[in-house]
Amino acid sequence: MTATDLTAPHPSGARLRVPPFAVVSGTQVHDALLGREEHLVRVVQDTYRLHGAGLTVNPPSSFLRFPDRRSARIIALPASLGGAAPVDGLKWISSFPENVTAEIPRASAVLILNDPATGYPYACLESSIISASRTAASAASAADWLSRGRARPSRIGFIGAGLIARYVHTFLAGTGWTFDELGVHDLSSDSAYGFRTYLEQSGAGGRITVHAAAEDLVRASDLLVIATVADRPHLSDPSWFGHHPLVLHLSLRDLTPGVLLASTNIVDDIDHCLRAETSPHLTERLTGNRRFVAGTLDDVMAGRIAVPADRTTVFSPFGLGVLDLAVGKYVYDEVARSGELQVVDDFFHELRRYG
């Protein structure tokens, strides 16, 4: 693995170098992340702290939609991460819900990492696993921080039984969570029972129940994981949440404003979360203000806000591109250390201005 010298020196005096370009496969990503749940939660928490300190650039995501495929979209998440291991880049992730009818995953993604010194991209990583892992690590972190000060949840429920639900359970189990009861609800009975089989095979302790009605699952859960493909709110009755569960609202568009207004609301980034017709965005439209948002997860970690135990708490993370960069950079470094980096020789051809 080599890099190519450029003719112009960097202002610091160091000579700039074009980094080699590598492709990191899904298998390599999976192997680098396997069993690293506790470390990845720390990576995500450190990234939230950098974001809260203003050491990131995280522009609004761009949505590519299609008039002939109304349920589908492809999203671009550009970002820049500062700190001790800076990196710039872009996640390009598609969501095609109709894929599940063909028994292939709804989402697919790639992540591009760019060198902060030259701007040259130096890696393309399969990113559906990175995206799921950073989402699950964020959820596990929120479950930990937002349950402090209240009885630790012993009954977990999953609304939406897809890949994200599986990763969230894996990260919760990998960071020490156990449950006496586990509930599942999905509009697809095949998905619900498939997830139940996964839970049984994963060695999850406790009683596992598939609920036919969302209300029954909500009422039976102290910790609720919502990971659906819903494009509009469908959980509308605040009384279902009268026992004040902790809700990880990962799919962002499931709860009506009435539910959010009866809850303590924590987000990852206020400006990002209150857009694109998410449930918090609809609540802002209804109320004309953002006072229903208590703050961010970084605010909670830093002790700037306290989460009351006598109210439902809802964590609604929009999903920050800087989290993908942090996890992707970790994967890249691990693969590079293993000596298995697959470099594309001569990927960049025109490296001199005049030939």
Give me the pLDDT at residue 101, please: 85
**Closest by alpha carbon to 153, among 145, 143, 161, 139?**
143
The fold adopted by the segment(s) 138-316 is Rossmann fold (3.40.50)
Give me the pLDDT at residue 67, please: 96
**Closest by alpha carbon to 16, among 27, 28, 4?**
4
Query: Which string of b and e fits 247-270 if b means at least 16 CB within 10 Å?
Result: bbbbbbbbbbbebbebbbbbbbbb
Splitting the chain (355 residues) into consecutive groups of 10 residues, what average pLDDT does each group show?
A: 44 75 98 98 98 97 94 95 96 92 90 97 97 98 96 97 96 97 96 96 95 98 96 96 98 98 98 96 98 98 96 97 98 98 94 82
Sequence-separated (6 or more) residues with CB below 8 Å from residue 130 = 29, 33, 109, 111, 324, 327, 328, 331
Instruction: State whether residue 246 is helix, strand or coil.
Output: strand
Give me the pLDDT at residue 14, please: 63
**Closest by alpha carbon to 37, among 202, 174, 177?**
174
Angle among Cα 62, 63, 69 to the nearest 5 degrees reads 165
Give me the pLDDT at residue 8, please: 42
Give me the pLDDT at residue 328, please: 98
**Closest by alpha carbon to 135, among 298, 333, 325, 324?**
324
Give me the pLDDT at residue 352, please: 84
Please give the single-letter amino acid code of residue 298: D
The crossing angle, in degrees rounded to 10, of helices 163-174 and 128-147 is 50
Domain boundaries, the chain: 4-130+321-343, 138-316
The fold adopted by the segment(s) 4-130+321-343 is ornithine cyclodeaminase, domain 1 (3.30.1780)
* 49 burial via Cβ count (<10 Å: 0-12, 13-18, 19+): middle
Q: Computed from CA positions of residues 321, 323, 327, 330, in that sequence, does the dihedral angle turn out positive or negative? A: positive
Q: How many helices (DSSP H) and strands (DSSP E) are in the chain?
A: 11, 18
